[in-house]
């Protein structure tokens, strides 16, 4: 009897330790989420969902309240509208099954993941994001070289999918570049090297649309940091950048031309001979099939359970046998599966995310807030550009990364911490969730951000 009691006490103690939310636990979790995506594949999905479920438990046990940050509400509304439209379309169409509900579970857990991250300092999360992304970029390069040179396949990392691998690596490379531009000395060199490693890994993936996404996000990050770039411009910096560009160009000269030639060949094959049996031809047929599906059910869509059947039916008309599971256009796919409200909610989500980033950059902010804004911009550009010809939502790794970047980015950019200026938990009272207390916390955080931003502005 005593042994059973001791066992229960040990289990309870272990559960309490796991729910002890401090900077160390937050840092470890952040390292796993942002460092594992290109390498560990679905490990990032597992980590994000487990972390979000942990957030639900923390809320239920009143360890943390559900955040009332305005930024969280702004992002949660379009996410939940998409989930509602998706589930409504699933229920309204024939043969709804439980397994089709799982893809929206990660989105439904978004507020709890955000609320859980608030019980940590912004500097801790920002540092962990940058360092984890650096690890992810170097690891992605090693894995890409191994897969291309020894297995003779396009780099797909641990994701088992070249586009998903490229998406995860593109996001990590953007964080490494942002970290390099904010750092100095050896740290900046190592982080810039990670950015270059990420570029090479993405080139090896052969994901052409992600090349464009990386180009656009890089341009945006350089523009945001243009003042710091001018201040740090020197012969040594220019020489280092030139060497990096040369290495990337050397790899690109081997990888890019064949992929461009293949794209041109697909276009000629489709236009001159009417042959759609190619990568580009398949996408054109997928888009045409999706548009026909939308016309037949524009309001509610056909539900996720009908996607494969619609695609197979469309390709059977041209005598091609394929195994696609989505329409290779995120907004088109959302409209087919979740109706017009599902598609519009995704448009609203990325519009709100971009607006939040722009508004953050318009204020006097510190480095953590700046990184948060960059995270939101990187996620918006990467997902929208990739989603035009590839996956936007509906894949466990892609969905988990989207939720992670939105939650961490929004918290860093404009969220309020549950820790005070000294990094200690705020006193828990029944008035903690009152509007007056929330406004006071936001005022304290803004004052702290402005003070830190002024120190960094006048610093070296």
3-state secondary structure labels for all residues of 32-78: HHHHHHHHHCCHHHHHHHHHHHHHHHHHHCCCCCCCCCHHHHHHHHH
Determine contact, residues 353/380, Cβ cutoff 8 Å: yes
Q: Is the pLDDT of residue 432 over 50?
A: no
The pLDDT assigned to 251 comes to 77
Assess if residue 223 is contained within a domain: yes
Q: Is the pLDDT of residue 375 over 90?
A: yes
> Could you tell me if residue 182 is inside a domain?
yes
**What is the CB neighbour count within 10 angstroms for residue 274?**
9
Backbone angles phi, psi at 419, to 5 degrees: -105, 145
In the prediction, which pLDDT does 434 show? 41
**pLDDT tens, residue by residue, 243-300:** 777 777 777 777 877 777 877 777 777 777 776 767 788 888 899 999 999 999 999 9
Taking each helix axis as running N to C, give the angle between helix 208-224 and helix 162-182, from 0 to 180 degrees, rounded to the nearest 10: 20
**Is 2 part of a structural domain of the chain?**
no
Of 12-26, 103-117, 276-290, 298-312, the poorest mean pLDDT is in 12-26
Tell me how far apart the alpha carbons of residues 195 and 414 are, in angstroms, rounded to a whole number. Answer: 26
Residues of the chain above pLDDT 70, percent: 83
Quote the radius of gyration of the chain (alpha carbons, Å): 23
**From the centroid of its chain, how far is CA 450?**
28
Q: How confident is residue 89, by pLDDT bands cut at 50, 70 and 90?
A: very high
136 occurs within a structural domain? yes
What proportion of the chain, given as a percentage, has pLDDT over 90? 50
Please give the residue range of the domain that contains residue 346. Answer: 32-254+326-418
**Whose CA is closest to 205, among 376, 442, 390, 456?**
390
Q: What is the pLDDT of residue 402?
A: 97
For the chain, the average pLDDT equals 84
278 inside domain = no
Residues linked to residue 419 through DSSP beta bridges, in sequence order: 425
User: Tell me, what's the pLDDT at 97?
Assistant: 83
Predicted local confidence at residue 460, as pLDDT: 40
pLDDT band at residue 159 using 50, 70 and 90 as cut-offs:
confident
Q: Average of pLDDT values for 81-91?
A: 95
Report whether pLDDT(440) > 70. no
**Cβ proximity of 408 and 375 under 8 Å:** yes
Query: Does the pLDDT value for residue 18 go beyond 60?
Result: no
Could you tell me if residue 160 is inside a domain?
A: yes
Lowest pLDDT segment from 231-240, 348-357, 421-430: 421-430
Burial 54-71 (b: 16+ CB within 10 A, else e): bbbebbeeebbeebbbeb
User: What does residue 421 show for φ and ψ, rounded to 5 degrees?
Assistant: -60, -25
Of 15-29, 97-111, 280-294, 407-421, the range with the lowest mean pLDDT is 15-29
What's the pLDDT tens digit per position in 305-351? 999 989 988 888 777 777 788 889 999 999 999 999 999 999 999 99
pLDDT of 428: 47
The residues, any chain, with a CB within 8 Å of residue 182's CB and separated by 6 or more, are 225, 228, 367, 370, 371
- Selection from 388, 304, 394, 379 nearest residue 349 by Cα: 379
Q: Go through the chain and tell me how many residues it has.
A: 460
18/321: higher pLDDT: 321
In the predicted structure, residue 14 carries a pLDDT above the cut 50: no
Is 70 exceeded by the pLDDT of residue 147?
yes
pTM of the complete model: 0.86
In this structure, how many other beta carbons lie within 10 angstroms of the beta carbon of residue 73?
Answer: 11
**Statement: residue 12 has pLDDT above 60:** no
Tell me how far apart the alpha carbons of residues 213 and 388 are, in angstroms, rounded to a whole number: 11
Return the pLDDT at 358.
95
pLDDT at position 430, please? 42
What is the total count of domains within the chain? 1
Residue 235, pLDDT > 70, answer no
More confident residue, 312 or 236: 312
| Token output for 198 | 């990420």
Distance CA 156, CA 202 (A): 9
Whether residue 287 is contained in a domain is answered as no
Q: Output the pLDDT for position 425.
A: 56
Average pLDDT over residues 223-231: 82
Q: Is the dihedral of CA 256, 258, 261, 265 positive or negative?
A: negative
User: Which DSSP string corresponds to 235-267?
Assistant: HHHHHHHHHHHHHHHHHHHHHHHHHHHHHHHHH
CA 342 distance to own-chain centroid: 19
* pLDDT tier, 453 (very low <50, low <70, confident <90, very high otherwise): low
What pLDDT shows up at residue 3?
56
Does any domain span residue 387?
Answer: yes
Q: What pLDDT shows up at residue 268?
A: 77
Say whether pLDDT at 114 is over 70.
yes
Pair of tokens at residue 354: 């971009």
């Amino acid at each position: 009897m005593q042994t059973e009691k001791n066992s229960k006490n040990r289990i309870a103690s272990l559960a309490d330790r796991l729910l002890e939310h401090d900077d160390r636990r937050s840092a470890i979790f952040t390292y796993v989420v942002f460092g594992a995506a290109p390498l560990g594949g679905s490990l990032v999905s597992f980590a994000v969902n487990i972390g979000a479920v942990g957030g639900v438990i923390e809320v239920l046990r009143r360890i943390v309240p559900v955040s009332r940050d305005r930024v969280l509400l702004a992002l949660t509304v379009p996410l939940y509208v998409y989930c509602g439209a998706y589930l409504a379309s699933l229920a309204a169409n024939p043969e709804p099954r439980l397994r089709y509900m799982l893809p929206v579970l990660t989105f439904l857990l978004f507020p709890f993941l955000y609320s859980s991250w608030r019980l940590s300092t912004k500097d801790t999360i920002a540092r962990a994001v940058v360092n984890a992304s650096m690890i992810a970029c170097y690891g992605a390069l090693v894995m890409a070289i191994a897969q291309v040179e020894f297995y003779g396949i396009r780099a797909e990392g641990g994701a088992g999918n070249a586009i998903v691998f490229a998406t995860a690596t593109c996001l990590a490379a953007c964080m490494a570049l942002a970290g390099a531009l904010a750092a100095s000395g050896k740290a900046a060199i190592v982080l810039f090297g990670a950015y270059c490693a990420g570029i090479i890994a993405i080139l090896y993936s052969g994901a052409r649309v992600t090349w464009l996404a990386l180009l656009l996000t890089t341009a945006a990050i350089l523009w945001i940091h243009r003042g710091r770039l001018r201040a740090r411009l020197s012969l040594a910096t220019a020489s280092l950048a030139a060497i990096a560009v040369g290495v990337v160009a050397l790899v690109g000269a081997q990888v890019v031309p064949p992929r461009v030639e293949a794209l041109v060949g697909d276009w000629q094959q489709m236009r001159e001979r009417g042959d759609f049996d190619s990568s580009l031809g398949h996408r054109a047929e997928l888009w045409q099939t999706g548009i026909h599906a939308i016309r037949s059910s524009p309001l509610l869509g056909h539900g996720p359970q009908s996607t494969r059947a619609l695609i197979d039916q469309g390709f059977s008309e041209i005598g091609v046998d394929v195994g696609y599971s989505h329409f290779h256009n995120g907004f088109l796919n959302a409209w087919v599966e979740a109706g017009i409200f599902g598609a519009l909610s995704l448009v609203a989500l990325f519009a709100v995310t971009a607006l939040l980033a722009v508004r953050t950059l318009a204020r006097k902010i510190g480095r953590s807030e700046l990184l948060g804004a960059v995270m939101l911009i990187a996620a918006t550009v990467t997902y929208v550009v990739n989603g035009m010809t590839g996956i936007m939502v509906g894949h466990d790794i892609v969905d988990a990364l989207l939720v992670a970047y939105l939650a961490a980015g929004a918290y860093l950019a404009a969220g309020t911490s549950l820790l005070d200026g000294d990094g200690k938990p705020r006193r828990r009272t029944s008035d903690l969730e009152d509007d007056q207390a929330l406004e006071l916390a936001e005022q304290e955080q803004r004052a702290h951000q402005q003070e830190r931003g002024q120190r960094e502005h006048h610093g070296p």
